[in-house]
């Protein structure tokens, strides 16, 4: 077996040798070289210390910089940022939120001759309130129709069926047969804190063009409105001044946060012409949601 090497702990013996000759006296050039080397070392050390000191002073200034900011400096910086990057308007923010939930609604005539294209009876708007494809719109948009069609925000067109109605509030409930993969239901909001002067946005398809956005304010609450045909009197309506025209009926009236507070039902024009003169009406969302059978508040 190979044994492990052991190291002795006894003092090492010093071997005698002939005495070394005395060291030679260094030349003047050698002494000068050594002195120059020592001076270089001292200079490098001093330079390093100076750099370290400078860095420490700079770091201290950087740390102390924020404490030197005044409220005026902060307000100036914020104002400058707002000038260069303006915030979107309330109407634009509301539109972005409600846009995926707004649909175009078309109803087709009761009957058409053979081999003739279908006749569009009316065009209106609607809003998705359930992800299962339940849509609120105005009853006068879909009544007396043979077939109903809805077009979603992504362009998908689907047939729809009427599954409920509330004639006293001019409301209809539809269900689409085909749904987009990314269907988005609108957020509903109670009208209990709604007041004249609050901002509102109407979204729909006026004259079939859209989706279109118009902005205004609530003009009044608890209003009464008689339909142009004079067949129906609607009550407890929201009056607003956001521009609406034929085709907006059934579309959502939303807050600046993009939450639905009403369903547009009609407009008032003293000349009995069907164009907007500043007075629109919407059914409060409480009545509209009740038409579905599940009050949301």
What is the distance between the alpha carbons of residues 217 and 235, in angstroms, rounded to a whole number?
Answer: 19
Q: Catalytic pick from 170, 212, 219, 241?
A: 170
- Residue bearing tokens 């689409």: 176
145 catalytic? Reply is no
Quote the tokens at residue 273: 């012409």
Which of these, 145, 146, 139, 148, lies nearest to 104 by C-alpha position?
148
140 catalytic? Reply is yes
Quote the tokens at residue 97: 């939120």
Longest CA span, the chain: 137
Q: Catalytic pick from 107, 122, 138, 140?
A: 140
Q: DSSP letters of 14-76?
A: PPP-PPPPPPPPPPHHHHHHHHHHHHHHHHHHHHHHHHHHHHHHHHHHHHHTGGG--HHHHHH
Q: Catalytic pick from 101, 125, 149, 249?
A: 249
Give the DSSP letter of residue 85.
S
170 catalytic? Reply is yes
- Positions marked active-site: 140, 170, 249
């Amino acid at each position: 077996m190979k044994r492990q090497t052991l190291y002795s702990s006894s003092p090492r013996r010093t071997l005698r040798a002939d005495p070394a000759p005395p060291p030679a006296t260094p030349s003047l050039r050698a002494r000068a070289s050594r002195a120059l080397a020592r001076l270089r070392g001292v200079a490098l050390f001093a330079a390093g210390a100076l750099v370290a000191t400078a860095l420490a002073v700079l770091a201290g200034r950087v740390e102390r910089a924020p404490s030197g900011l005044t409220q005026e400096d902060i307000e100036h910086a914020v104002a400058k940022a707002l000038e260069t990057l303006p915030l979107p308007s309330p109407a634009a923010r509301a539109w972005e939120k409600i846009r995926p939930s707004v649909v175009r609604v078309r109803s087709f005539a009761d009957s058409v001759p053979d081999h003739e294209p279908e006749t569009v009876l009316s065009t209106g708007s609607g809003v998705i309130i359930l992800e299962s494809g339940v849509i609120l719109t105005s009853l006068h948009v879909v009544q007396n129709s043979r077939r109903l069609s809805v077009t979603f925000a992504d362009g998908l067109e689907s047939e729809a069926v009427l599954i409920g109605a509330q004639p006293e509030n001019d409301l209809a409930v539809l269900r689409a047969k085909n749904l987009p993969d990314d269907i988005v239901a609108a957020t509903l909001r109670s009208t209990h804190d709604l007041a004249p002067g609050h901002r509102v946005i109407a979204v729909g398809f006026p004259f079939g063009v859209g989706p279109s956005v118009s902005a205004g304010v609530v003009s009044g609450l608890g209003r009464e409105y008689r339909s142009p045909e004079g067949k129906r009197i609607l009550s407890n309506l929201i009056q607003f001044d956001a521009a609406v025209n034929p085709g907006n009926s059934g579309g959502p009236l939303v807050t600046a946060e993009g939450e639905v507070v009403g369903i547009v039902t009609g407009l008032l024009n003293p000349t009995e012409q069907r164009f907007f003169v500043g007075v629109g009406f919407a059914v409060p969302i409480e009545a509209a949601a009740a038409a579905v059978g599940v009050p949301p508040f």
